[in-house]
Structures are given as structure tokens and as C-alpha cells.
């Protein structure tokens, strides 16, 4: 009975069921077609990643649809007007706020670039080979990062007879010396001082200072003791005891600057051998009066001569004449072939004298008049005079 009823029901509603099934099929196909019009898109914003399906046509429309905000300095790849395709990846690199200090200027940048090197390029800065950059060029940019560019400057170090050229970013003289790998001695002199700042074309001078201790010997001069001798004529001397130099030993500290001695300090001194004094007897017996009187007017002739002066105090001159007479005022040295010994002579500016001496330079018409002191002889000097010659 049930089967008969079911058959009757299907027979009566067959057309209606067909229409229902047809409607469901059309709806299913329409739904599938609608779904197929969506594109799969991935949005990568820093560390965040979002996968969506969208029917929007451009990158800009997709970001607006997803309410993703951005600023013009942000880097968006691909560009905003790029057409969306299935599988499109939109990458947003957010701009960060950084500061670059260089060449006494401050550069403020809002930039999406990856690292310090790219930021410096964006600021239009060029770097020298020895310039120092903090942080390093490969450091990734962070918000509020401060980048400092320190320019290398030329400076020079004069040391050990050489001039070292240096291009450096260090701040002090000490750091420059260390960078040049120059070792310093404890006593070396450095100018400017180690704490001084390095500026462009600074010249650093290093003077090597060394010391050494030596033991040296030096002579000790002897004294000359003069003893009066009443049995010897005045103006005569006699050495009765020769002097001998002594010897002293010194321990000295010698200071050198760049190899040249600049100071010598005596640390200890002792006498090895005492000096022996020289003893000289000096005659005090009065000399007999030298008769230089005119002897009347017995002038036998005149002679034009060159007159000079000397004394026993002159170097190399003894205290006696060629004839063994005491050398004193009134003695005249002559050329015996021109003026015989013992001849009385009158010399203008000098007075009377007697020919009692000669000399290697007294030849021909030359005479040498004696004085008691060297000072008197120097005052007389050299003169051309006409002398008077007296007979005996």
C-alpha cells in the first residue's frame, strides 16, 4: 500500500521536483563563478603577514579595503597602481626617523632603506676611505637611530729622523701615536702633549730621551807658587820644582736627546792622584841703573827705522837679552850689522836706550824697544821714526 502511494506522489510531483533540482544547480554554478572572481593576496607589513581574498583591482585599493594606513615615505612593493593578480604579494617597508651627524651638520631623514650605508647615500654624503661611521655601515636601521660620521684628518709624526704621514679619526695625540704603532720611552718628550686634541695638519714631534752612567777621568791643574828670591835680579825667574797634574775620577749621568748630549750631572767624584804644585823663584834684587844718558852731544848719525816694542811678559820672550842683560825699559834690540851692540840711541816717543838685544825679526833698519810691561809695549805699537845714534 505504501509503495503505491509513493509512486502516485512522485508521479504527481515529478515536474515540480525537476524545477527544484534545476534551481539548485543554477545557484551552485553561480556561486562557484562568483568565488572564482576573487584573487589570493598576501600583505607583508614588517613582521606581520596577512593573507586575504579580494576582488579589488590595484594595490592601493587592496590596502584601503584592508584599512592598512601608510605614509608617502614608506616603501610599498609593488607600486600602488600595480594591477592585482592571484598570488600577488604586497610588501610594506615602513620609513624610520633617523639622524645623521656629519661635517658639522645634522641631517634628519624619514627613510625606509635597509641599513646605515643606504641612509648615508640617501643623505647625499660621500665617505673617505679612513672615515669612521658609527654604527657600522651594515647595521640595520632602527627608529630614532643616530648615525655619526667622523671625518679622517691628516696629521704628521716626526720621530727617529723620519716623518710619518697619518690619516686618522682619533681624537688625541696619544691615540694617533698608538694608531701609527710608535712605541714611547718613559723619558721621551712629546709635543703637543698626549692629551691634546688632533686637528687637521697637526704636527706631533717625538724626541727620544735616553740616559747613561759613565766613569771618566779628568786632569786636575796644578798651582804655580811664586817665591821671592833676594839673591836674584829683579825680572828674573827660576823654576825650582816642576808641577804635575793630578787625576780625579767622576761618575756622571749623561742625558741625550735624539742622540745628542744635552746634560751631564756629576753623581760622585774622587781624587785618584793629587796635583803637585809648580814652584818658581822670582828675583827681587834691584837692577843696577842702566845708563841711558845722552853723553853730551856726541851724535854720530841718524837713521830712519821701523820701531816696534816688546817686554818680558810677551809669549816666548825671556827675562834676559841676547847679551845676558836683564830685559827692561831702556834695552833696544837691533841688527848688529847695522847698529853695533852697546850703542846709545835716542828714539822719538821712547827716549834713550842702549843696543843690548837682537831678534829673529829685527833685520836691517828695524829696532825693538823694551818696556817693563806688555801693556806699555802695546801702547807704543809700531812707528816709523828717525833715531839718533851716539858715539861712545
Pick the CATH number of 96-150 from 3.40.1280.10, 2.60.40.10, 3.10.20.90, 3.40.190.10: 3.10.20.90
All three cell numbers of 130: 679612513
Place of cell 843696577: 288
Tell me the pairing of strands 351-357 and 331-333: parallel
Q: Identify the DSSP state of 144.
A: T
- CATH number corresponding to 288-390: 2.40.40.10
Q: What's the pLDDT at 8?
A: 55
Q: What's the pLDDT at 350?
A: 94
Confidence of residue 26 (pLDDT cuts 50, 70, 90): low
Query: Measured on CA atoms in the order 31, 37, 40, 44, is the torsion positive or negative?
Result: negative
Share of the chain above pLDDT 90, in %: 76
Q: What's the pLDDT at 4?
A: 47
- How far is it, in rounded angstroms, from Cα 233 to Cα 285? 4
Q: What's the pLDDT at 135?
A: 95
Does residue 303 have a pLDDT over 70? yes
All three cell numbers of 211: 740616559
- CATH number corresponding to 39-93: 3.10.20.90
**Residue 184: phi, psi to the nearest 5?**
-115, 140
Q: What's the pLDDT at 27?
A: 53
All three cell numbers of 15: 515536474
- How far is it, in rounded angstroms, from Cα 226 to Cα 34? 143
Phi-psi region of 104 (alpha: psi -120 to 50; beta: other; left: phi over 0): left
Cα distances (Å, whole numbers) of residue 161 to 79, 158, 183, 207, 209: 65, 7, 15, 10, 14
Span 99-141, pLDDT tens digits: 999 988 999 999 999 999 999 999 999 998 889 999 999 999 9
All three cell numbers of 209: 730621551
- How far is it, in rounded angstroms, from Cα 192 to Cα 208? 15
Mean pLDDT of the chain: 88
Q: What's the pLDDT at 141?
A: 93
Query: Are 258 and 279 in contact, with CB atoms under 8 Å apart?
Result: no
Query: Measured on CA atoms in the order 174, 179, 180, 184, is the torsion positive or negative?
Result: positive
What is the pLDDT averaged over residues 336-359? 93
- How far is it, in rounded angstroms, from Cα 349 to Cα 38? 143
Does residue 9 have a pLDDT over 90? no
All three cell numbers of 183: 712605541
What is the pLDDT averaged over residues 81-105? 94
Q: What's the pLDDT at 5?
A: 44
Q: What's the pLDDT at 231?
A: 85
What is the three-class DSSP state of 376? helix
Span 33-78, pLDDT tens digits: 444 579 999 999 988 999 999 999 999 999 999 999 999 999 999 9
Which residues are CB-neighbours of 135 under 8 A, at least 6 positions away?
A: 116, 145, 147
Confidence of residue 289 (pLDDT cuts 50, 70, 90): low
Q: What's the pLDDT at 124?
A: 92
Span 167-201, pLDDT tens digits: 999 999 999 999 999 999 999 999 999 999 999 99
- How far is it, in rounded angstroms, from Cα 349 to Cα 354? 15
- How far is it, in rounded angstroms, from Cα 109 to Cα 122? 9
Pick the CATH number of 212-284 from 2.20.230.10, 2.40.40.20, 3.30.420.130, 2.40.30.60: 2.20.230.10
What is the pLDDT averaged over residues 284-291? 67
Q: What's the pLDDT at 234?
A: 73
Confidence of residue 291 (pLDDT cuts 50, 70, 90): low
Share of the chain above pLDDT 70, in %: 87
Place of cell 641599513: 115
Confidence of residue 283 (pLDDT cuts 50, 70, 90): confident
All three cell numbers of 74: 614608506
Which strands make up the sheet holding 153-159, listed edge to edge? Answer: 162-168, 153-159, 202-207, 189-191
Cα distances (Å, whole numbers) of residue 43 to 27, 73, 80: 32, 18, 13
Q: What's the pLDDT at 25?
A: 52
Give the chain's length: 392
What is the pLDDT averaged over residues 287-306? 71
Q: What's the pLDDT at 360?
A: 87
All three cell numbers of 128: 673617505
Cα distances (Å, whole numbers) of residue 352 to 290, 295, 355: 10, 11, 10
Confidence of residue 288 (pLDDT cuts 50, 70, 90): low
Which residues are CB-neighbours of 121 under 8 A, at least 6 positions away?
A: none
- How far is it, in rounded angstroms, from Cα 2 to Cα 48? 64
- How far is it, in rounded angstroms, from Cα 304 to Cα 42? 134
Cα distances (Å, whole numbers) of residue 80 to 55, 64, 88, 161: 16, 11, 12, 67
- Beta bridge partner(s), residue 76: 92
| Domain residue spans of the chain | 1-36, 39-93, 96-150, 153-207, 212-284, 288-390
Does residue 285 have a pLDDT over 70? yes
Query: Are 284 and 236 in contact, with CB atoms under 8 Å apart?
Result: no
Amino acid at each position: 500500500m505504501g509503495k503505491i502511494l509513493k509512486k502516485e506522489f512522485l508521479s504527481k510531483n515529478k515536474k515540480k521536483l525537476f524545477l527544484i533540482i534545476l534551481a539548485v544547480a543554477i545557484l551552485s554554478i553561480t556561486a562557484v563563478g562568483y568565488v572564482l572572481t576573487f584573487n589570493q593576496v598576501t600583505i607583508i607589513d614588517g613582521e606581520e603577514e596577512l593573507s586575504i581574498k579580494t576582488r579589488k583591482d590595484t594595490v592601493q585599493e587592496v590596502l584601503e579595503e584592508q584599512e592598512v594606513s601608510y605614509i608617502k615615505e614608506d616603501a610599498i612593493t609593488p607600486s600602488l597602481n600595480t594591477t592585482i593578480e592571484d598570488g600577488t604579494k604586497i610588501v610594506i617597508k615602513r620609513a624610520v626617523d633617523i639622524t645623521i651627524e656629519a661635517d658639522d651638520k645634522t641631517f634628519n631623514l624619514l627613510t625606509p632603506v635597509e641599513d646605515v650605508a643606504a641612509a648615508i647615500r640617501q643623505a647625499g654624503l660621500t665617505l673617505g676611505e679612513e672615515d669612521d661611521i658609527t654604527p657600522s655601515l651594515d647595521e640595520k636601521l632602527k627608529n630614532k637611530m643616530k648615525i655619526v660620521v667622523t671625518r679622517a684628518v691628516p696629521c704628521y709624526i716626526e720621530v727617529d729622523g723620519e716623518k710619518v704621514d697619518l690619516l686618522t679619526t682619533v681624537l688625541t695625540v696619544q691615540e694617533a701615536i698608538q694608531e701609527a704603532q710608535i712605541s714611547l720611552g718613559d723619558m721621551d718628550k712629546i709635543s703637543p702633549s698626549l692629551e691634546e686634541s688632533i686637528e687637521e695638519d697637526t704636527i706631533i714631534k717625538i724626541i727620544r730621551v735616553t740616559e747613561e752612567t759613565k766613569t771618566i777621568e779628568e786632569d786636575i791643574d796644578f798651582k804655580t807658587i811664586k817665591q821671592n828670591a833676594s839673591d836674584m835680579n829683579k825680572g828674573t825667574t827660576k823654576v825650582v820644582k816642576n808641577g804635575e797634574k793630578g787625576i780625579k775620577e767622576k761618575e756622571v749621568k749623561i742625558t741625550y736627546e735624539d742622540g745628542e748630549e744635552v746634560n751631564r750631572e756629576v753623581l760622585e767624584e774622587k781624587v785618584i792622584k793629587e796635583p803637585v804644585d809648580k814652584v818658581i823663584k822670582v828675583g827681587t834684587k834691584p837692577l843696577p841703573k842702566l845708563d841711558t844718558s845722552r853723553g853730551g852731544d856726541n851724535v854720530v848719525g841718524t837713521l830712519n827705522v821701523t820701531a816696534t816694542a816688546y817686554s818680558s811678559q810677551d809669549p816666548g820672550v825671556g827675562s834676559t837679552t841676547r847679551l845676558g842683560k836683564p830685559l827692561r825699559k831702556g834695552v833696544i834690540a837691533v841688527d848688529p850689522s847695522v847698529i853695533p851692540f852697546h850703542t846709545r840711541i835716542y828714539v822719538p816717543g821712547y827716549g834713550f836706550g842702549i843696543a843690548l838685544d837682537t831678534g829673529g825679526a829685527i833685520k836691517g833698519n828695524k829696532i825693538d824697544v823694551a818696556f817693563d810691561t806688555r801693556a806699555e809695549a802695546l801702547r807704543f805699537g809700531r812707528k816709523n821714526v828717525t833715531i839718533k845714534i851716539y858715539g861712545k
